[in-house]
Amino acid sequence: MWKYEKRLQYPVNIKKKDLKLAKYLVTQYGGSNGELAAAFRYLNQRYTMPDNRGKALLTDIGTEELAHVEMISTMIYQLMKDATIEELKEAGLDSHYAEHSRAIYPTDANGVPFTVAYFATTGDFKADLMEDMAAEQKARAVYENLIDLTDDPDVIAPLLWLRQREIVHFNRFKELYEMYEKEGF
């Protein structure tokens, strides 16, 4: 099905611990506009696309979103690496530690756990593609907000790369939607 290369799509090499940013960044892992929700959304919606072009696009973007989950997880891990219990408490991560220790767990930045309610699918391919375009724009906006919360170039670089992928995905969904409209689907 695909070739798995044991490397991230974009290198992540964060040298400076930043627990507060890790707390914020987790929203792109398990939040409503995050990568996990996008992956599940697209991989479920692909079955109701009217042709193989649509199925292929949603499969490709859905699996790429899983690669983004891996990048976000790596970033969170590196931002929290070697944190002491006191540092975790100071960053407001003590409740997370109580439940999950130092494991990465899908929540939003407020600690609300991931839910399948985050990935919309209606069975109407046009409605789903419009939802997908909106989802990509929301994810782009969240990446821009996260970039505003840091001045660390080791964090900003992968966030900028991920932000750009949201724009590319939006454009691919828009092209598919417009093609379906033109062809009378």
Residue whose pair of structure tokens reads 């859905």 in the numeric block: 62
CB atoms within 10 A of CB 74: 17
Round to whole Å and give the CA distance between 122 and 114: 20
Q: Looking at residue 6, what is its pLDDT?
A: 82
Residue with tokens 């611990």: 17
d(C-alpha 140, C-alpha 82), whole Å: 30
Helix axes 153-182, 52-80, angle to 10 degrees: 170
Matching CATH number, 19-182, of 2.40.160.20, 3.40.50.11900, 3.40.190.290, 1.20.1260.10: 1.20.1260.10
DSSP per residue, 140-153:
HHHHHHHHHT---H
Name the band, by pLDDT with cuts 50, 70 and 90, for residue 119. confident
Tokens 């375009």, residue located? 133
Span between the terminal Cα atoms of the chain, in Å: 28
Prediction pTM value = 0.94
List, in sequence order, the alpha helices (H) in 31-117.
Answer: 35-45, 52-80, 85-90, 94-100
The one-letter code for the residue type at 54 is G
Closest CA to 41 of 127, 135, 104, 126: 135
pLDDT in tens, 133-149: 999 999 999 999 999 99
How high is the pLDDT of residue 120?
A: 83
Residues 2-56 pLDDT 10s: 677 788 999 999 999 999 999 999 999 999 999 999 999 999 999 999 999 999 9
